[in-house]
Structure 1
Amino acid sequence: MVSPVLSLRDASLTLQGNAGPVEILKGISLEIEQGQSVGLIGPSGSGKSSLLMLMGGLERATGGSVMALGHDLTTMNEDALARFRRGNMGVVFQSFHLIPTMTALENVATPLELAGRKDAFERAEAELTAVGLAKRMHHYPAQMSGGEQQRVALARAAAPRPAILLADEPTGNLDGPNGEAIMELLFGLRDRHGATLVLVTHAPELADRCDRVIGLRDGSIDGETRKTRPDNTRPEAAQ
Structure 2
Amino acid sequence: MSSILSLKDAVLALDSNAGRIEILHGISLDVQAGETLALVGPSGSGKSSLLMLMGGLERATSGTITALGYDLSAMDEDALARFRRENMGVVFQNFHLIPTMTALENVATPLELAGRKDALDRAKAELEAVGLAHRADHYPSQMSGGEQQRVALARACAPSPRLLLADEPTGNLDQSTGKTIMDLLFDLHAKRDTTLVLVTHSNTLAERCERIVRLRDGRIDAALTAVEATA
Is the structural similarity TM-score above 0.5?
yes
Q: For residue 48 of structure 1, what is the amino acid of its counterpart? A: K
Structure 2 counterpart of 1:116 = 115
Tell me by how many angstroms 1:18 deviates: 1.2
Q: Distance in 2 between matches of 1:205 and 1:227?
A: 11
- Which runs of structure 1 show a deviation greater than 2 angstroms over 4 or more consecutive aligned residues? none
Structure 2 counterpart of 1:56 = 55
Cα displacement string for residues 164-195 of structure 1 (whole angstroms, at most 9, x for unaligned residues): 00000000000011000000001111111111
Q: Distance in 2 between matches of 1:111 and 1:32?
A: 25
Cα displacement string for residues 189-234 of structure 1 (whole angstroms, at most 9, x for unaligned residues): 1111111000000001000100000000000000111147xxxxxx
Structure 1: gaps of 5 or more residues: 229-239
Q: Distance in 1 between matches of 2:28 and 2:72?
A: 15
Q: Distance in 1 between matches of 2:192 and 2:175?
A: 26
Q: Does 1:209 align with 2:208?
A: yes
SS at match of 1:98: coil
Structure 2 counterpart of 1:37 = 36
Scaled by the length of structure 2, the TM-score of the pair is 0.97
Cα displacement string for residues 125-160 of structure 1 (whole angstroms, at most 9, x for unaligned residues): 111000000111111111100000000000000000
Tell me by how many angstroms 1:75 deviates: 0.8
Once the two structures are aligned, what percentage of the paired residues are identical? 69
Q: How many residues align?
A: 227
Cα displacement string for residues 49-71 of structure 1 (whole angstroms, at most 9, x for unaligned residues): 00000000000001110000000
Q: Does 1:133 align with 2:146?
A: no
Structure 2 counterpart of 1:231 = none
Q: Distance in 1 between matches of 2:43 and 2:91?
A: 19
Q: Alignment RMSD, CA only?
A: 0.9
Scaled by the length of structure 1, the TM-score of the pair is 0.93
Q: Distance in 1 between matches of 2:102 and 2:187?
A: 24
Q: Distance in 2 between matches of 1:209 and 1:227?
A: 7
Q: Distance in 2 between matches of 1:172 and 1:95?
A: 9
SS at match of 1:106: helix
Q: Distance in 1 between matches of 2:88 and 2:169?
A: 16
Q: Distance in 1 between matches of 2:192 and 2:2?
A: 19
SS at match of 1:52: helix
SS at match of 2:191: helix
Structure 2: gaps of 5 or more residues: none
